[in-house]
Amino acid sequence: MALQLTDGNINEIINSGKPVVIDFWAEWCGPCRMVGPIIEELSKEYEGKVIVGKMDVDENIETPQVYGIRNIPTILFFKDGKVVDKQIGATQKAVFTAKIEALL
């Protein structure tokens, strides 16, 4: 299951030394509900290799501002604590898989 991230724990996760994928989403967002199951699948498939998390932008306002999140879903891909790629909007699982494989 994807890790539930908050403004309070995100820096610890990003700086964990592992690649990190974060889905910025909201309950009311239709495209977010399409991406959600894909993110859950990826969290299982890459367990132990990549940290996959989700952050609700309605409950956490600080972090989305820090990373300039203007549209959701936005998925950020981190390596060595830095954003190296992003995906804005819903897309196919293969796109996410390719971006994750590039982190490894």
Residues forming the active site: 29, 32
Give strand ranges (E) for 31-104: 51-56, 74-79, 82-88
Alpha helices of 18-92 — where are they, by DSSP H?
Answer: 30-45, 62-66
Q: Phi-psi category of 103—alpha, beta or left, where left has phi over 0 and alpha has psi -120 to 50? A: alpha
